């Protein structure tokens, strides 16, 4: 396995994946942060969510979890962690 890892094109692919992972991490973090701010302030000013908005909030939580599972899966596969 070590020999394969040392091949130049494998190293190159790993480097590219690391860059993509960094971009995705930043993107998902910003996305999550924006939704958090939106819902936090909505709650703060209006004190209660409608059913639909609560449902959306759950949806975004699930989406965020899926994103992190996906990222962890890639990291595990490439031993980047």
Q: Which two three-digit tokens encode residue 44?
A: 């703060």
User: What is the SS3 string spanning 27-44?
Assistant: HHHHHHHHHHHHHHHHHH
Is 57:49 a contact under the CB 8 Å cutoff? yes
Give residues with Cβ within 8 angstroms of 4, minimum separation 6: 10
pLDDT tens for each residue of the chain, 81 residues long: 566 666 777 777 778 878 877 777 777 777 777 777 776 666 555 555 555 666 666 666 766 666 666 667 666 766 654
């Amino acid at each position: 396995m070590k020999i394969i890892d040392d091949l130049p094109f494998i190293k190159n692919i790993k480097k590219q994946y690391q860059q993509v992972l960094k971009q995705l991490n930043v993107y998902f973090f910003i996305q999550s942060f924006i939704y958090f701010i939106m819902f936090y302030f909505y709650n703060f000013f209006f004190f209660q969510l409608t059913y639909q908005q609560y449902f959306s909030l759950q949806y975004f939580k699930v989406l965020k979890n899926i994103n992190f599972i996906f990222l962890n899966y890639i990291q595990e596969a490439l031993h980047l962690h």
